[in-house]
């Protein structure tokens, strides 16, 4: 336990000192007694004893060293000294701590997002073993899996513990007065086993419940449990009435379970042995599998490929043409935001680097101002290492203070981040935890090392001892070059950030200016709950939709109404390959197009103009279609396409359709994308989750309640949800883009502000150091304007050089932005030039104040101060 005592003795030395004092004093006393006994007089005895004993203080200290942890003691002394000297310069301390708090805080906040979204495994036991499965077909881009095939894979593979699947739909729960919209996930057998999650209360599905015709059991979300059953355990066994079926609640899932997504309220079994699920061509499950321990992804891929190959022999059509896609579930979840997050992390790291550079410059000035003190310490015998240790301790104290405040900032920032980025995957998992705390601590230590080294080396040079004799006579500090280099680096990094932010901002601006080919204004969108099962009754579903549309059109303030499966302008793809029944030469390119299912009024509602042919109508007998201009021009010679029949022979869902006309190009797959060749099926969209689009005369929000009332009258059993103007859907679609732009701009502005503080600080310090020189110049007849120019030029020179370096850096960094820019090249002269001018103007302003102060020096007063 020696270390323990030594540790405490270092922290609370008072008692140890008292004991030592008593023990040694006793020894001395005994010796004196002994000497007195030999006949010496007391004074002589005391003198002799003292002589024998040697220096009391030295003995005490040597003994004390045995009882104490010397490193700790030195560290504590340094700490105390640092605290005292930092408290003496509150301005300096506050500046550094605030700068670091911002730097470390922003860094930790972005890291907390990276950690939660990209680094941490999915919130399932052994989540890194979960994979997403899909079937790849050469003909169609439909990764969904046929239930029978899912079961085949599960039975025949040897590398996965289990395979399950799911799909979702929005439906209504009708136990209460009003139908309530809930999101239902239909899951394949083994769902919870594969996810590795058990219900918080209640039980998993029983084997009987996973078969067709078995009891209708349902698992509910924690949210629904609290909302509907007031979190009472008695909810188990209660009945939930959903359209056409009543389900018995068998369990409540934990609040943390948010799969397939956070909106799902209930999970029910979609039995693969149902009669309607036996076709190998009808696909609906998204597949999820769990790898066996120690099985690699490539082994699983090879294994499933072999399984599918044997299925291909057994069922040549269609299995021979199908391949299996196996990807880590986490990867497929977060893939889209990976690049953005790392770019943001890069930006905050640059910001932290700027903050560090700034602090190095401040520390150098401080070290220079304390030369005399350092010299005194050297001449009293301090070693260079001990002086450097003292300086490092001071930086560490600053960094830890900065880190602590930074964590506060990070906590706030990650809350803001969660709001700003609510559409990012796994965003609900972002928050502070021990890892982030540890990360901040490591960052603070790293900052200490980065910031401490240069001042410690330069500030402890032996030749400084000479300055003891010089007093404060030195005219120009020798390390100006280092400080100006540091400022230059700051400017360069700030320019880089500003340029990247500028390019993103310009892209965003361009995006807003784009003419999308349709009019998203004054459109209210919403959905009406329905289920996939209902689509079996095609006629009934169609009648229902047209009844709703008629009802909507009858509302005052409504111009027209339509239904579409996907929203125009919101990024999304549904690509298919089409064949024409009129035949097509082998040499001609394959017809690959985006498919959109709409009702004929869609074009009128969105103001997409008719270019040629006629507008499609809802026809009972025939399926009709429209194509856009790009489609007609790419695959046919323009109007040739009219009257052609297009279809997907392999897709049972899609009937062959006759093309009636050509409409104008519209940027429906995203405002930043050139309109691709597009085919519109005019037979409407009956799928659950399809969007109703209502063109209004006034503000779309104003008629929301009228729409609700109308739907209540027409469809009392269905819930209406997601009443949102089309424009906000479109801007939500670019939320990640906007987040990236907003944050990067914020970081860039902070960066330039820091660089200006650095420039201002360095020049101010310089003016201070050279005060006597300026006074001399003025006394000898220099003009004040000359003095101003002297310093201003220095500031401008540094920022100009920094600008040039920054623009060179930008050339490297903007490569990372490729694919994120729209309508602006990464070397856009206007943006880069604008950034350069901005930086020069801002740094000129920052230089002006200290320069003017220099010119205000009163020569006589300054010189007399000697």
Partner 1 sequence: MGAKKNDILQGTLALLILKSLDSGKRMHGYAITAHIQRVSAQLLRVEEGSLYPALHRMEQDGWIRAEWGKTEKNREARFYSLTAQGRKQLAQEEESWRRLTEGVARVIRYA
552 Cβ neighbours under 8 A, 6+ residues apart: 558, 561, 692, 694, 707, 710
How far apart are CB 765 and partner 1 at their closest, in Å? 49
How far apart are CB 112 and partner 1 at their closest, in Å? 44
Cis previous bond, 450, omega within 30: no
Task: Write out the DSSP string of 543-589.
Answer: HHHHHHHHHHHTSTTEEEEEEESS-TTS----EEEEEETT---TTSP
How far apart are CB 386 and partner 1 at their closest, in Å? 23
Q: Is the Cβ of residue 15 or residue 617 nearer to partner 1 in the bound state? A: 15
How far apart are CB 26 and partner 1 at their closest, in Å? 5
How far apart are CB 60 and partner 1 at their closest, in Å? 8
How far apart are CB 445 and partner 1 at their closest, in Å? 30
Q: Is the Cβ of residue 53 or residue 315 nearer to partner 1 in the bound state? A: 53
How far apart are CB 67 and partner 1 at their closest, in Å? 5
HEC-encoded secondary structure of 85-138: HHHHCHHHHHHHHHHHHHHHHHHHHHHHHHHHHHHCCCCCCCHHHEEEEEEEEC
Contact set with partner 1 (CB under 8 A):
1-2, 5-6, 19, 22-24, 26-27, 29-31, 33, 52-54, 58-59, 62-67
Q: Are 170 and 182 in contact (CB under 8 A)?
A: yes
Burial class for 568, CB neighbours closer than 10 Å (0-12, 13-18, 19+) = buried
**Whole-angstrom Cα distance, residue 326 to residue 131?**
6
Q: Is the Cβ of residue 31 or residue 607 nearer to partner 1 in the bound state? A: 31
**Whole-angstrom Cα distance, residue 261 to residue 324?**
24
Q: Is the Cβ of residue 30 or residue 588 nearer to partner 1 in the bound state? A: 30
Q: Is the Cβ of residue 27 or residue 335 nearer to partner 1 in the bound state? A: 27
Q: Is the Cβ of residue 59 or residue 634 nearer to partner 1 in the bound state? A: 59
How far apart are CB 380 and partner 1 at their closest, in Å? 25
State the CB neighbour count (10 A cutoff) for residue 35. 19
**Whole-angstrom Cα distance, residue 614 to residue 320?**
41
Dihedral pair phi/psi, residue 667, rounded to 5°: -85, 70
How far apart are CB 14 and partner 1 at their closest, in Å? 16
State the CB neighbour count (10 A cutoff) for residue 664. 16
Which is nearest to 659 in space by CA: 622, 707, 630, 609?
Answer: 622
What's the DSSP call for residue 653?
A: S
Q: Is the Cβ of residue 26 or residue 212 nearer to partner 1 in the bound state? A: 26
Start-to-end Cα distance in the chain:
58
Which is nearest to 304 in space by CA: 157, 143, 145, 155?
Answer: 157
163 Cβ neighbours under 8 A, 6+ residues apart: 133, 150, 153, 154, 157, 188, 190, 194, 287, 288, 289
Q: Is the Cβ of residue 22 or residue 317 nearer to partner 1 in the bound state? A: 22
State the CB neighbour count (10 A cutoff) for residue 830. 10
How far apart are CB 30 and partner 1 at their closest, in Å? 4
Q: Is the Cβ of residue 9 or residue 530 nearer to partner 1 in the bound state? A: 9
Q: Is the Cβ of residue 35 or residue 505 nearer to partner 1 in the bound state? A: 35
Q: Are 694 and 524 in contact (CB under 8 A)?
A: yes
What's the DSSP call for residue 264?
A: E
Q: Helix axis angle, 147-156 relative to 297-314, nearest 10°? A: 120
Which is nearest to 322 in space by CA: 146, 454, 142, 137?
Answer: 137
**Whole-angstrom Cα distance, residue 571 to residue 851?**
53
How far apart are CB 78 and partner 1 at their closest, in Å? 24
How far apart are CB 76 and partner 1 at their closest, in Å? 19
Q: Please identify which residue in the block is written with the tokens 């790392």.
A: 342
**Whole-angstrom Cα distance, residue 250 to residue 215?**
11
How far apart are CB 43 and partner 1 at their closest, in Å? 21
Query: What are 328's two structure tokens?
Result: 């880590």
Element counts in the chain: helices (H) and strands (E): 27, 21
Q: Is the Cβ of residue 54 or residue 213 nearer to partner 1 in the bound state? A: 54
Rg (CA), the chain: 38
How far apart are CB 225 and partner 1 at their closest, in Å? 60
Q: Is the Cβ of residue 24 or residue 446 nearer to partner 1 in the bound state? A: 24
Q: Is the Cβ of residue 64 or residue 377 nearer to partner 1 in the bound state? A: 64
Q: Is the Cβ of residue 68 or residue 109 nearer to partner 1 in the bound state? A: 68
Q: Is the Cβ of residue 70 or residue 274 nearer to partner 1 in the bound state? A: 70
* Beta-bridge partner residues of 661: 613, 626
How far apart are CB 29 and partner 1 at their closest, in Å? 7
800 Cβ neighbours under 8 A, 6+ residues apart: 840
């Amino acid at each position: 336990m020696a270390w323990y005592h030594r540790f405490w003795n270092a922290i609370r030395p008072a008692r140890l000192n008292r004991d030592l004092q008593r023990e040694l004093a006793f020894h001395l006393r005994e010796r004196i007694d002994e000497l007195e006994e030999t006949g010496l007089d007391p004074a002589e005895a005391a003198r002799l004893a003292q002589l024998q004993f040697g220096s009391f203080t030295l003995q005490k200290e040597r003994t004390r060293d045995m009882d104490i942890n010397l490193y700790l003691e030195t560290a504590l002394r340094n700490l105390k000294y640092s605290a005292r000297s930092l408290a003496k310069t509150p301005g300096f301390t506050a500046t550094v701590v605030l700068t670091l708090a911002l730097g470390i805080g922003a860094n930790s906040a972005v890291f907390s997002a990276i950690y939660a979204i990209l680094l941490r495994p999915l919130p399932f036991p052994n989540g890194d073993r979960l994979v997403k499965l899909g079937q790849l077909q050469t003909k169609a881009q439909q990764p969904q899996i046929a239930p029978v095939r899912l079961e085949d894979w599960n039975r025949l593979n040897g590398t996965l513990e289990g395979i399950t699947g799911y799909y979702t739909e929005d439906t209504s729960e009708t136990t209460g007065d009003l139908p309530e919209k809930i999101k239902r996930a239909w899951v394949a057998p083994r769902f919870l086993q594969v996810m590795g999650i058990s219900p918080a209360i209640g039980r998993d599905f029983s084997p009987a419940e996973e078969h067709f015709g078995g009891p209708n059991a349902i698992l509910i979300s924690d949210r629904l449990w609290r909302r509907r059953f007031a979190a009472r355990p008695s909810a188990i066994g209660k009945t939930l009435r959903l359209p056409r079926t009543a389900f018995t609640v068998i369990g409540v899932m934990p609040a943390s379970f948010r799969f397939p997504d956070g909106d799902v309220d209930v999970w029910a079994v979609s039995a693969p042995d149902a009669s309607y699920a036996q076709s190998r061509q009808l696909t609906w499950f998204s597949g999820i599998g769990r790898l066996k321990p120690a099985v690699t992804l490539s082994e699983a891929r090879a294994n499933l490929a072999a399984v599918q190959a044997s299925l291909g022999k057994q069922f040549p059509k269609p299995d021979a043409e199908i391949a299996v896609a196996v990807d880590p579930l986490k990867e497929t979840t977060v893939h889209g935001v990976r690049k953005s997050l790392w770019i943001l992390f890069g930006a905050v790291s640059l910001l932290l680097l700027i903050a560090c550079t700034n602090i190095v410059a401040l520390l150098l000035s401080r070290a220079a101002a304390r030369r005399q003190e350092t010299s005194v310490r050297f001449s009293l015998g301090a070693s260079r290492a001990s002086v450097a240790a003292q300086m490092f301790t001071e930086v560490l104290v600053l960094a830890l203070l900065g880190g602590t405040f930074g964590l506060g900032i990070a906590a706030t920032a990650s809350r803001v981040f969660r709001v700003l980025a609510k559409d990012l995957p796994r965003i609900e998992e972002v928050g502070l935890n021990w890892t982030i705390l540890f990360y901040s601590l490591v960052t603070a230590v790293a900052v200490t090392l980065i910031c401490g080294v240069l001042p410690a080396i330069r500030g402890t040079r032996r030749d400084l001892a000479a300055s003891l004799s010089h007093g404060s006579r030195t005219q120009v500090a020798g390390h100006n070059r280092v400080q100006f280099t540091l400022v230059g680096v700051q400017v360069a990094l700030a320019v880089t950030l500003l340029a990247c932010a500028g390019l993103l901002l310009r892209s965003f601006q361009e995006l807003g200016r784009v003419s999308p080919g349709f009019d998203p204004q004054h459109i209210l969108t919403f959905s009406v709950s329905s289920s996939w099962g209902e689509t079996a009754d095609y006629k009934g579903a169609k009648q229902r939709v047209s009844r709703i549309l008629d009802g909507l059109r009858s509302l005052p303030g409504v111009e027209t109404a339509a239904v579409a499966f996907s929203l125009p302008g919101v990024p999304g793809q549904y690509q298919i390959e089409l064949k024409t029944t009129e035949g097509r030469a082998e040499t001609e390119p394959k017809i690959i197009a985006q498919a959109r299912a709409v009702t004929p009024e869609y074009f009128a509602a969105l103001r997409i103009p008719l270019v040629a042919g006629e507008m499609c109508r809802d026809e009972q007998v025939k399926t009709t279609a429209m194509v856009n201009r790009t489609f007609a021009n790419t695959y046919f010679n323009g109007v040739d396409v009219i009257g052609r029949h297009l279809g997907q022979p392999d897709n049972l869902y899609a009937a062959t359709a006759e093309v009636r006309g050509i409409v104008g190009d519209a940027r429906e797959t995203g405002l930043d994308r050139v309109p691709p060749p597009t085919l519109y099926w005019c037979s409407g969209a009956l799928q659950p989750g399809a969007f109703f689009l209502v063109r209004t005369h006034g503000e779309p929000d104003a008629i929301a309640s009228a729409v609700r009332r109308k739907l209540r009258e027409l469809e009392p059993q269905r819930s209406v949800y997601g009443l949102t103007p089309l424009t906000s859907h479109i801007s939500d679609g670019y939320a990640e883009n906007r987040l990236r732009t907003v944050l990067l701009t914020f970081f860039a502005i902070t960066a330039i502000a820091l660089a200006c503080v650095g420039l201002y600080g360095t020049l101010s310090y310089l003016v201070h150091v050279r005060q006597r020189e300026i006074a001399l110049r003025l006394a000898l007849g220099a003009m004040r304007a000359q003095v101003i120019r002297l310093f201003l030029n220095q500031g401008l020179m540094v920022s100009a050089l920094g600008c040039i370096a920054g623009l060179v850096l930008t050339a490297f960094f903007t490569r990372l932005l490729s694919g994120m820019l729209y309508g602006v090249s990464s070397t856009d002269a206007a943006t880069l030039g604008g950034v350069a001018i901005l930086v020069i103007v801002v740094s000129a302003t920052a230089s002006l104040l200290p320069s003017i102060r220099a010119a205000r020096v009163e020569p006589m007063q300054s010189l007399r101060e000697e």
